[in-house]
Structure 1
């Protein structure tokens, strides 16, 4: 494997133009979901994956002599394990029981169609073993092929960086344990700027430089020793970075704890855990709120999603109920505005909670509870800019071998292994950060109680007064903005040197491309 070229990858999202001024508060546009109305199904895989693993592998035609291969789970259903939108929202990456990573492109007329469209994979990557986790490169943009890549973690395999256009492995990152064996991490993620790769496994977080594949990485022990009672013990099963760029990240463990770490030194700040009366279970997912003040966690064989207050107390503020009594991961997601949490359930329902309008007890209200799949919903992923929601379903099922009862039981076993994309109702709204860092909705009708600055009554006044920070997302259509201001600022930005005073590069990182 040789390095062909070192290419520059912009850290800033290329679809976003930022106009910086003197104050911290500013306007930006997001899609505000209206979940009082049910979701509309726009496209799905239908019955493509409602067969066995062996049948799906035969259909994929990835192997010439499949009959000569040993496939331990060949008779099992090919259920979906996880699904994630790409950062630019152009496609969906999934993992399934046949150990294949698939990319599904979004149909062109998905926002206009009234009929259910077919959703077909455009790229397949065989991981070779059980897929533990995967993640997109955070600065991925379809307009720049160099940034179109994603990581995957497989059992007893090195971490692989895949090219999302060719399906080939660009490079790999290898973890060797104390027995000199290759370890596939149970959790992996990029940090916010994509310069580091964080991997979680037993009592350890391994950190790689994205531009230095191989075995060289930083070992961060989560506990001093195997017998020690200090730190965070157990397998690190999930990782998540705080979007407020404070350098804080969370690590969930199968030992029923959540550790908060500082990215600057990777030291443990505190441990969140349950009590003797209420155990939080083996943590399978952690995700911060959009403002970075709260942390949501989910556990296996548990019917609740918990919200933790990480500002002061570290206590559980409330619990959101869903049917999740299974060992399988059931992933949830939070919309870009931070106002709704969407999750799937074991009985195939999509459940939405309003995180802004709380009830008298200070708990979010359930605003949507609708049947969506004929099986357990293993993952929910919200589009980064459009009113689209992806969901995937399926679970491992075992047939009875008892000759007396097997026929009747096996006849009643049904599966729904599918990927679906839903369209929600709503509209784009202007929002802004106040001086306290809180996200508030701007009333375009000029309500004086909706803005922290009484001199600013609408967006036009805000541009005229030249205050705050305005983020304009080029992917959002139908928004009336002052294009003259944007073009002038873009011309100014093109003339600014990206190197800071101390000689460090603030915007550009080198990303290594391998063949």
Structure 2
């Protein structure tokens, strides 16, 4: 378990529940080539299925694989140094990344990942590919591609979200107003199934009030139960949620807007958690609850999916007041309180933990936290065993005398939009990278492992 039984600590102080076991260098301090004067930063991180490797994506269009040291949990006077064992340089901006659910470090042919880049088909890479010329230098070229083409214009569509669920024979991509299902074995072929989230894009009302309009920004698969359900939760930038059953050819189960639920969090003296577009859908370990995170938000919504569209509560004091994605993770509780735990970073660099989620209605404050980084924590991901947790940080900052709304320009750039204002473009060119590191934290401190 992720140590829910440890003693409580005061929020805002360094917790005695965690110990820094390993850390990468600050990648913003690397010497960059002259053509790229602005160093990139870590945007996302996640564990591979076998728990041996952390995959990261950076704003500099790089994907890296960090193999975890075997002696990670042994006693060391100083934290171990993390270095990437493999790096893939992409030619275009990458929107999303997904690794194979059968990833096994010992078997190179399973070390696969999918990448969606602007103006390209979805591409499959090997993290540790064999070299093509007999040298020890790997050749990171796409092994497979899966085109996603707009029929009327024959232009490439960029997937804005990817989901590669077990057993791995198929994967799912989200786009604007539709979801596509691919057969992973059919390289070079288009989707075997397209599911429109609205009846028609050509309708005057863009769906006529039916369905879920907007860009599908996130996808999450419900954990399988005894009935082997295949429900996928999709969220959009327009603040809509949809549940789709892929065991029934992607049949839409339910859609709803979260705008009214967010207003409910503002009752009383509080201002509410706010929000401006869903950045993540996350299922509880038991599959009964659905978590929804938004950009420019102070909390996470919790829904009981047994009552569609009915808000159970929300996790407050989760500062994510920017356009940057801030990913959370969940883990089952094993104490007397039951429920499950939610771990999330913040824009202030802290990581906060909520315990017993699912057993509380209304607002729920975090149980404890610790200061993990000096900039936004973009991803917080627990190892499958619950013994360690990985965090990555990074963000843009702008000169103090220039306006902050250019943060939106970064989001537009990542989503394929264009700058709309010359002044904002100039401000954007003067951006700087804040501290950006990948860290692994030991959660067994009280058990004498540190």
Q: TM-score surpassing 0.5?
A: yes
CA gap of 1:334–1:386, structure 2 versus 1, over 3 A, is closer
1:75 deviates by 3.3
1:355 deviates by 2.5
Q: CA separation in 1, counterparts of 2:433 and 2:60?
A: 19
Query: 1:120 and 2:83 equivalent?
Result: yes
1:87 deviates by 0.8
Q: CA separation in 1, counterparts of 2:249 and 2:219?
A: 16
Q: CA separation in 2, counterparts of 1:358 and 1:323?
A: 22
Higher relative contact order (CA 8 A, sep 6+): 1
1:356 deviates by 5.3
Is this contact kept in 1: 2:102–2:168, CA < 8 A? yes
CA gap of 1:371–1:414, structure 2 versus 1, over 3 A, is farther
The match for 2:116 is: 153
> Which secondary structure does the structure 2 equivalent of 1:124 belong to?
strand
Q: CA separation in 2, counterparts of 1:214 and 1:423?
A: 43
Q: CA separation in 1, counterparts of 2:4 and 2:389?
A: 11
1:147 deviates by 1.6
Is this contact kept in 1: 2:326–2:379, CA < 8 A? yes
Is this contact kept in 1: 2:43–2:379, CA < 8 A? yes
The match for 2:322 is: 326
Cα RMSD, aligned residues only: 2.7
The match for 2:223 is: 243
Q: CA separation in 2, counterparts of 1:131 and 1:412?
A: 20
CA gap of 1:43–1:274, structure 2 versus 1, over 3 A, is same
The match for 1:405 is: none
Q: CA separation in 2, counterparts of 1:319 and 1:331?
A: 16
5 Å matches for 1:278-357?
Answer: 281-321=276-316, 322-335=318-331, 339-355=340-356
Query: 1:198 and 2:172 equivalent?
Result: yes
Of residues 257, 260, 265, the one that matches 2:249 is: 265
The match for 1:130 is: 93
The match for 2:21 is: 42
Is this contact kept in 1: 2:343–2:354, CA < 8 A? yes
Aligned residues: 375
* TM score, norm. by length of structure 2: 0.77
The match for 2:181 is: 207
The match for 1:493 is: none
1:38 deviates by 2.6
Q: CA separation in 2, counterparts of 1:390 and 1:331?
A: 12
Q: CA separation in 1, counterparts of 2:352 and 2:177?
A: 34
Is this contact kept in 2: 1:35–1:368, CA < 8 A? no
Structure 2 portions without partners, runs of 5+ = 8-15, 130-139, 265-273, 334-338, 403-429
Is this contact kept in 2: 1:76–1:397, CA < 8 A? no
Tell me the alpha carbon deviations over residues 37-88 of structure 1, each in whole angstroms, 9 at most, x when there is no partner: 43100111132x1237xx34x4xxxxxxxx6xxx6xx333411110001111
Is this contact kept in 1: 2:395–2:433, CA < 8 A? no
1:214 deviates by 1.4
Q: CA separation in 1, counterparts of 2:238 and 2:95?
A: 18
* TM score, norm. by length of structure 1: 0.68
1:170 deviates by 1.6
> Which secondary structure does the structure 1 equivalent of 2:109 belong to?
helix
1:107 deviates by 1.2
5 Å matches for 1:52-91?
Answer: 55-56=31-32, 58=33, 74-91=36-53
Tell me the alpha carbon deviations over residues 372-427 of structure 1, each in whole angstroms, 9 at most, x when there is no partner: 1000101111111251100001112233687xxxxxxxx99782111111010279
The match for 1:8 is: none
Is this contact kept in 1: 2:390–2:440, CA < 8 A? yes
Is this contact kept in 2: 1:254–1:282, CA < 8 A? yes
1:313 deviates by 4.1
5 Å matches for 1:483-502?
Answer: none
Query: 1:423 and 2:446 equivalent?
Result: no
Query: 1:381 and 2:399 equivalent?
Result: no
Q: CA separation in 2, counterparts of 1:271 and 1:308?
A: 13
Which structure's CA Rg is the greater one? 1
Q: CA separation in 1, counterparts of 2:313 and 2:123?
A: 38
> Which secondary structure does the structure 2 equivalent of 1:270 belong to?
strand
* Deviation beyond 4 Å, 4+ runs, structure 1: 30-35, 356-359, 361-365, 411-414
Tell me the alpha carbon deviations over residues 305-356 of structure 1, each in whole angstroms, 9 at most, x when there is no partner: 1111111243111111211110000000012557211000010000001035
Is this contact kept in 2: 1:38–1:368, CA < 8 A? no
Q: CA separation in 1, counterparts of 2:98 and 2:322?
A: 23
Is this contact kept in 2: 1:234–1:253, CA < 8 A? yes
Structure 1 portions without partners, runs of 5+ = 1-29, 59-66, 403-410, 429-515
Is this contact kept in 2: 1:287–1:295, CA < 8 A? yes
> Which secondary structure does the structure 2 equivalent of 1:50 belong to?
helix
CA gap of 1:230–1:35, structure 2 versus 1, over 3 A, is farther
Of residues 220, 224, 235, the one that matches 1:252 is: 235
Is this contact kept in 2: 1:273–1:280, CA < 8 A? no
The match for 1:453 is: none
